[in-house]
């Protein structure tokens, strides 16, 4: 049932300082309660919406007074009489899209997928960082919509149109993350360390064959790790330093870590690789923690075995949870990033699990995925703007 004392005013036109002050000055002459307000300025164009309740007075005179003020400012005033006013907050979500470029078809497909489920786009913004374009949509999602089904339908559109997507609850936890854990191989760095060691040791082909068997599901991670490490028996430990020189950080890693550390994040690398390399990158990037498998050494050479706990899929998730507990951080406030099936348990346990340049099966199982070359694209998923980045990194 419409309330004839409640009005929704829309004010649009060229933006300039003082508009809100003058509009409120006109309204202050009336007994008005502001129920809701939203202002957006894009490319110099203002869109101001005011939901107000008129306690006493003639609504026709109110409209005329406001219309006179708006006309003097060179703006346009529209009036709506809402049929229904929400008494409870909407169910809000954030949909983030990333791509090298967006085409009209991309937006059409996403918009169609949303409208088919009666989902309204409340706000949409655009940003660009280098070659990466970001469109963020704030959504009002009906309570009866299954978010997991919605995610899969949006993922299907993203796969078909070759862009990245993340669907998250738009709440305090999104921008209040405090811990990030990352895989090392093909995530923190561009290479797979075991392949680089094997190449140096002259057993790259044999190691690749074992890796392929593991990917086909013929052997598990622990077995594959043991077989590959066995091939490295006799390699001088000093040669690992030469392997380190081959390794390259993934684009955007330094900016990402620098920004997050200034924002108070705890940072960690959790890898199924080896400690000489995770320790190296922990020191290089000044990370807080590093975990990986330990290569056994005797007389300055690798024995072809590992010692201690194996960092497999389950162990990665356990380490994430232990770090969160140690730092007194809720799992909702954690981020995990990885590229392989070995990372899935960790990605699932985190508040935000991001598949980075991963296989389709890993993308589908993750809460978000990125196929961009730069790891700093994660900052878009966390809700940080380019202005946020400049402000933090310049200080």
Read off the pLDDT of residues 38-96 as tens digits, 9 standing for 90 and up.
888 888 899 999 999 988 888 888 899 999 999 999 999 998 877 655 544 458 899 99
Query: Can you give the pLDDT at residue 321?
Result: 98
Checking if the pLDDT of 214 tops 90, the result is no
Q: Report the C-alpha gap between 307 and 318 in whole angstroms.
A: 18
Residue-level pLDDT at 211:
85
C-alpha pair distances (Å), 374 with each of 212, 283, 321, 330: 27, 21, 26, 27
Question: Which residue in this structure is represented by tokens 């909702």?
Answer: 332
pLDDT at 89: 47
Which CATH number is associated with domain 179-191+247-393? 3.40.50.1000
Q: What is the pLDDT of residue 85?
A: 52
Q: What is the CA radius of gyration of the chain?
A: 27
Q: Which range is least confidently modeled, 16-25, 260-269, 367-376, 386-395? A: 386-395
| Model pLDDT, residue 84 | 55
Question: Which value, to the nearest 10 degrees, does the dihedral of the CA atoms of residues 114, 117, 123, 124 take?
Answer: 0
Cα separation, 34 vs 54, in Å, equals 9
DSSP state of 293: E
Question: How high is the pLDDT of residue 3?
Answer: 52
Of 394 and 74, the one with more pLDDT? 74
Confidence band, pLDDT 50/70/90 cuts, at residue 1: very low
Taking the C-alpha atoms of residue 376 and residue 384, their distance in angstroms, rounded to an integer, is 11
pLDDT for 281 equals 98
Task: Please give the torsion angle defined by the CA atoms of residues 255, 380, 314 and 234, in that order, rounded to the nearest 10 degrees.
Answer: -30
* Cα–Cα dist 321/233, whole Å: 34
Reported as a pLDDT band with limits 50, 70 and 90, residue 229 is: very high
Tell me the average pLDDT across 219-226: 93
Distance of CA 242 to the CA centre of its chain: 35
pLDDT of residue 42: 81
Model confidence at 2, pLDDT cuts 50, 70, 90, reads: very low
pTM of the model: 0.84
CATH 3.30.70.270 matches 6-80: no
Same CATH fold assignment for domains 6-80 and 179-191+247-393: no
Higher pLDDT pick, 307 / 217: 307
Catalytic positions: 183, 185
pLDDT tens digit string along 339-363?
988 999 999 999 999 999 998 889 9
Give per-residue pLDDT as tens, 302-317: 999 999 999 999 999 9
Q: What are the domain boundaries of the chain? A: 6-80, 92-170, 179-191+247-393
Bridge partner list, 338: 355
CATH number of 92-170: 3.30.70.260
pLDDT at 4 over 90: no
- Could you say which DSSP state residue 249 is in? B
The C-alpha atoms of residue 75 and residue 395 are separated, in whole angstroms, by: 39
Burial class (CB in 10 A: 0-12, 13-18, 19+), 16: exposed
Determine the average pLDDT of the residues in 8-29. 92
């Amino acid at each position: 049932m419409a309330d004839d004392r409640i009005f929704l005013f829309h004010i649009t036109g060229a933006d300039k300082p003082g508009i809100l002050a003058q509009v409120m000055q006109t309204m202050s002459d009336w007994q008005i309660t502001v129920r809701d307000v939203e202002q957006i300025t894009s490319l110099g164009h203002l869109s101001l919406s005011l939901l107000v309740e008129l306690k006493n007075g003639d609504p026709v005179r109110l409209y005329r007074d406001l219309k006179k003020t708006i006309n003097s400012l060179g703006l346009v005033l529209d009036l709506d009489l809402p049929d229904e006013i929400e008494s409870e907050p909407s169910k809000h979500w954030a949909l983030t899209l990333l791509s090298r470029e967006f085409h009209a078809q991309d937006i059409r497909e996403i918009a169609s997928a949303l409208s088919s489920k009666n989902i309204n786009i409340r706000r949409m913004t655009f940003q660009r960082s280098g070659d990466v374009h970001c469109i963020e949509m704030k959504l009002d999602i009906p309570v009866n919509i299954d978010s997991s089904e919605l995610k899969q339908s949006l993922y299907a559109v993203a796969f078909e149109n070759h862009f990245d997507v993340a669907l998250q609850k738009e709440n305090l936890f999104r921008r209040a993350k405090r811990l990030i854990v990352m895989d090392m191989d093909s995530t923190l760095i561009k290479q797979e360390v075991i392949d680089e060691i094997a190449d140096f040791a002259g057993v790259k082909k044999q190691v690749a064959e074992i890796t392929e068997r593991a990917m086909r599901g013929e052997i598990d991670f622990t077995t594959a790790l043991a077989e590959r490490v066995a091939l490295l028996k006799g390699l001088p430990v000093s040669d690992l330093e030469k392997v380190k020189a081959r390794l390259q950080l993934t684009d955007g890693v330094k900016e990402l870590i620098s920004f997050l550390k200034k924002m108070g994040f705890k940072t960690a690398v959790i890898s199924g690789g080896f400690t000489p390399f995770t320790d190296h990158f922990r020191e290089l990037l000044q990370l807080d923690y590093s975990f990986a498998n330990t290569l056994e050494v005797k007389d300055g050479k690798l024995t072809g075995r590992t010692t201690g706990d194996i960092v497999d899929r389950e162990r990665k998730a356990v380490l994430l949870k232990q770090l969160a507990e140690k730092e007194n951080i809720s799992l909702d406030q954690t981020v995990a990033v990885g590229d392989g099936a070995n990372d899935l348990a960790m990605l699932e346990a985190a508040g935000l699990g991001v598949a980075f340049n991963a296989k389709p099966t890993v993308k589908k199982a993750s809460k978000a995925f990125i196929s961009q070359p730069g790891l700093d694209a994660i900052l878009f998923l966390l809700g940080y703007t380019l202005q946020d980045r400049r402000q933090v990194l310049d200080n």
